[in-house]
Amino acid sequence: MNQINHGSSVKLSTQAILKLRDGFGEQVDVEVVAETGSTNADLLARLDLLQTPLLRIAEHQTAGRGRAGRVWHSVPGGVLTFSLAWYFPRATHALLGLPLATGVAIAETLERLGLPVSLKWPNDLLKDKKKLAGMLIETAAAKQGGSWAVIGIGLNLVVPDTLEGRIGHDVADAPWLAQMDRNLLVAQLLNALAKVMEQFRQQGFAPFAERWNRLHAYAQQEVMIMDAGKLVQQGIALGVDQNGCLSLLTAQGQVSVLSGDVSLRPVSL
């Protein structure tokens, strides 16, 4: 895993992705840039000007952000980084399950492409129990009412040893996906995300709970819920409920855990 294999030498192209959108994806405009600090930050700065959903994708991000202020490390050609801005006619607090619905969209797309993955509550995709992709969702009240969500996604295609060293722990990559035309890969992810966003807009998270639980990486396993490095709950992970909360069977009984900035860790690897 110490070299980047540009299986597809085709550069990301706005026009190529636009042509590959389906009926759901056609709701979304697309822009490709060679380099930027953060696609999430770019879109957040432009929300008042947006009229339609927008996907912004960068060949390289220099200041990518993860959850809880962490850095999202990237390398040109090795990590697919993009953000989707989507308007919802509901308050930000009503978007609780959106990260999980987003995870379902990405995981099911990768499954269709022959890459089995699992979901780690609340924001990660795993391959062989190692992180393959992560999400950062940032929300803002819209001036016309309702909310904008900016959904940032980083998907490892080929991670060189030097990048893994900077990250500081083992991560997964997907050389099989790296062989694809990246425009086709992005378009398929966009089409799936747009379909899920539309369904979430209409029905919330409830229709996705069963789909998420099917992909649950730590179902019926003992896990710890951490907040800023401190243990806040420990118990058996039962799955997510209709709101996207994690149901945990603890020594004191069953509890529901909100996502926020907490993280999940298995008790034994």
- The verdict on whether 67 is a catalytic residue reads yes
**Active-site residue (options: 67, 120, 127, 182):** 67
Q: Are 201 and 88 in contact (CB under 8 A)?
A: yes
Continuous segment of H or E residues that includes residue 161: helix 161-167
| Marked catalytic residue, from 112, 129, 130, 265 | 265
Out of 56, 120, 127, 131, the active site residue is 131
Cβ atoms of residues 265 and 226 within 8 Å: yes
Is the dihedral angle over the CA atoms 242, 26, 142, 64 positive or is it negative? positive
Among 212, 215, 233, 181, which Cα is nearest to 8's?
181
- The residues near 55 (Cβ < 8 Å, ≥ 6 apart) are 17, 28, 29, 30, 31, 82, 83, 84, 85, 186, 190
Residue 182 a catalytic site member: no
Q: Give me the half-sphere count of Cα atoms (radius 13 Å) on the Cβ side of residue 93.
A: 0
Edge-to-edge strand ranges of the sheet holding 263-266: 253-257, 246-250, 230-240, 222-227, 263-266
Alpha carbon dihedral 247, 104, 76, 61, in 10-degree steps, equals: -60
Catalytic annotation present for 230? no
**Cβ 64 vs Cβ 154: under 8 Å:** yes
Active site residues: 67, 131, 265
